[in-house]
C-alpha cells in the first residue's frame, strides 16, 4: 500500500474523529452554559416570588420603575374594587337625596360611604409598591386617604350621636349600631399604630421593631375593610335603610363582593404572613 493511501486512510479516520470530539465538547459546553443560565434564572426568580399576589402573576400588582403612583389605583384587579366603591357612594348618595333629608342624621350614611371609598383608595394605592421610593410616596398618599376617611367616619359618628340625643333614642339597638361602635374603636387603634410606626418608630424601640408590626397593621386593615362592607349590609336591613331609603340588601352584597374581588387578589402573601 502506498504512502498516499495510508495518509488518506489516516486522515479519513482522524479528521472525523476530531470533528466528533469537537462537536461533543461544544455540546457539553452549551449544556454547562444552559445549566448556569437556569441556575441564574432560578436565583433571579426567587425574589419575584416575594411580590407574588394571592392570584395572578407578580407583575400584575407590582409598581414598575418610573410608573405613576396613581396607576396603582387601577392595576390588576383594582378596577373591580373601584367600581364597587363608586357604586356604593352613588347608591347611598342617590337614595339619601331622593328622600327626605334628616339633619343631622342624613350625614351619617353620606359620610360613611365616602369614608369607605377613601379607605379603599388608601389600600389600593399602597399595595403594589415595593421599592423604598415607591413605599415612601405611597405611604404619604395612603396616610392622606386615611386622614380623609377618618374625618368622614367620625363625622358620621357625630351625626348619629347628635341625632339620637335630640330624639331621645337609645343607642346600640341594632347589629349595625353594635358593629359600628366596634369598628370606630378599632379605627382609633389602627390609625394610631399606623401613624406612629412609620413617623414615630422610636415609640416601638426603633425602626426594626416598628417594621416588625407592619404586617399586623396590614392584616387589621383588610379586616376593617371587610367589617365596613359587612356593616353596610347590616345598614340595609335597619328601619332607615330598608323602609326609608329602600336599600336592596342583594345590591349592597354585590358591591361588597366587587370590592373584595378587587382588593384581596392583589394582597402580597409575604406581607401578611403573621405565623
CATH number of 153's domain = 1.20.120.1770
The full DSSP string for 68-102 is -GGGGGTSTTHHHHHHHHHHHHHHHHHHHHTS---
Is residue 235 domain-shared with residue 210, that is, in the same domain?
yes
Is residue 138 domain-shared with residue 24, that is, in the same domain?
no
Per-residue model confidence as pLDDT tens digits over 183-224: 999 999 999 999 999 999 999 999 999 999 999 999 999 999
Per-residue model confidence as pLDDT tens digits over 225-236: 999 999 999 999
**Entry pTM:** 0.79
Does residue 140 carry a pLDDT above 90?
A: yes
In terms of residue numbers, what domain contains 31? 1-50
Q: What is the pLDDT of residue 98?
A: 96
Q: What is the pLDDT of residue 44?
A: 39
Is residue 96 domain-shared with residue 206, that is, in the same domain?
yes
Confidence of residue 51 (pLDDT cuts 50, 70, 90): low
Is residue 82 domain-shared with residue 187, that is, in the same domain?
yes
Share of the chain residues as helix, strand and coil, in percent rounded to the nearest 5: 80, 0, 20
Is residue 122 domain-shared with residue 104, that is, in the same domain?
yes
Q: What is the pLDDT of residue 199?
A: 94
Q: What is the pLDDT of residue 167?
A: 87
| Among candidate residues 32, 50, 68, the one where a domain is terminated | 50
Query: Closest Cα to residue 102, out of 9, 170, 22, 166?
Result: 166
SS3 53: strand
Q: How many whole angstroms separate alpha carbon 78 and alpha carbon 61?
A: 9
The arithmetic mean of pLDDT across residues 252-261, rounded, is 98
Is residue 116 domain-shared with residue 14, that is, in the same domain?
no
Q: How many whole angstroms separate alpha carbon 215 and alpha carbon 200?
A: 17
C-alpha atoms less than 13 angstroms from C-alpha of 124 in its C-beta half-sphere: 27
Question: Among residues of the chain, what percentage have pLDDT more than 70?
Answer: 78
Per-residue model confidence as pLDDT tens digits over 17-47: 434 444 444 555 554 444 444 434 433 333 4
* Ramachandran assignment for 131, one of left (phi > 0), alpha (psi -120 to 50 degrees), beta (any other): beta
Contacts of 137 (CB under 8 A, 6+ apart): 69, 129
| CB-CB neighbours of 208 under 10 Å | 9
The domain tally of the chain equals: 2
More confident site: 171 or 190: 190
Is residue 74 domain-shared with residue 43, that is, in the same domain?
no
Q: What is the pLDDT of residue 170?
A: 87
Query: Closest Cα to residue 184, out of 164, 156, 159, 162?
Result: 156
Look up residue 19 and give its three cell numbers: 470533528
**What angle (nearest 5°) sits at the alpha carbon of residue 53, between those of residues 112 and 46?**
150
Cα dihedral 118→119→121→126 (10° resolution): 140
Per-residue model confidence as pLDDT tens digits over 56-103: 554 458 888 889 999 999 999 999 999 999 999 999 999 999 999 999
Is residue 192 domain-shared with residue 76, that is, in the same domain?
yes
Question: Among residues of the chain, what percentage have pLDDT more than 90?
Answer: 70
SS3 19: helix
Is residue 183 domain-shared with residue 67, that is, in the same domain?
yes
Is residue 24 domain-shared with residue 102, that is, in the same domain?
no
Is residue 9 domain-shared with residue 108, that is, in the same domain?
no
State the residue for C-alpha cell 358591591: 255
Is residue 84 domain-shared with residue 127, that is, in the same domain?
yes
Amino acid at each position: 500500500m502506498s504512502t498516499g493511501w495510508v495518509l488518506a486512510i489516516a486522515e479519513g479516520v482522524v479528521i472525523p474523529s476530531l470533528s466528533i470530539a469537537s462537536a461533543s465538547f461544544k455540546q457539553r459546553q452549551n449544556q454547562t452554559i444552559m445549566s448556569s443560565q437556569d441556575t441564574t434564572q432560578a436565583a433571579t426568580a426567587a425574589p419575584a416570588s416575594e411580590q407574588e399576589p394571592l392570584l395572578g402573576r407578580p407583575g400584575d400588582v407590582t409598581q414598575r420603575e418610573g410608573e405613576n403612583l396613581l396607576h396603582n389605583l387601577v392595576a390588576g384587579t383594582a378596577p373591580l374594587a373601584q367600581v364597587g366603591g363608586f357604586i356604593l357612594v352613588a347608591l347611598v348618595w342617590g337614595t339619601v337625596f331622593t328622600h327626605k333629608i334628616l339633619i343631622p342624621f342624613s350625614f351619617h350614611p353620606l359620610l360613611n360611604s365616602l369614608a369607605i371609598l377613601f379607605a379603599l383608595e388608601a389600600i389600593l394605592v399602597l399595595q403594589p409598591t415595593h421599592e423604598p421610593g415607591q413605599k415612601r410616596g405611597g405611604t404619604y398618599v395612603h396616610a392622606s386617604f386615611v386622614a380623609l376617611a377618618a374625618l368622614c367616619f367620625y363625622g358620621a359618628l357625630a351625626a348619629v350621636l347628635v341625632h339620637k340625643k335630640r330624639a331621645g333614642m337609645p343607642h346600640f339597638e341594632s347589629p349595625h349600631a353594635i358593629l359600628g361602635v366596634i369598628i370606630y374603636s378599632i379605627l382609633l387603634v389602627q390609625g394610631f399604630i399606623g401613624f406612629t410606626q412609620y413617623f414615630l418608630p422610636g415609640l416601638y424601640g426603633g425602626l426594626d421593631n416598628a417594621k416588625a408590626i407592619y404586617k399586623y397593621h396590614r392584616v387589621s386593615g383588610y379586616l376593617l375593610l371587610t367589617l365596613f362592607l359587612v356593616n353596610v349590609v347590616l345598614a340595609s336591613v335597619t328601619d332607615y335603610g330598608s323602609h326609608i331609603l329602600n336599600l336592596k340588601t342583594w345590591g349592597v352584597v354585590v358591591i361588597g363582593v366587587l370590592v373584595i374581588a378587587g382588593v384581596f387578589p392583589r394582597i402580597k402573601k409575604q406581607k401578611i404572613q403573621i405565623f
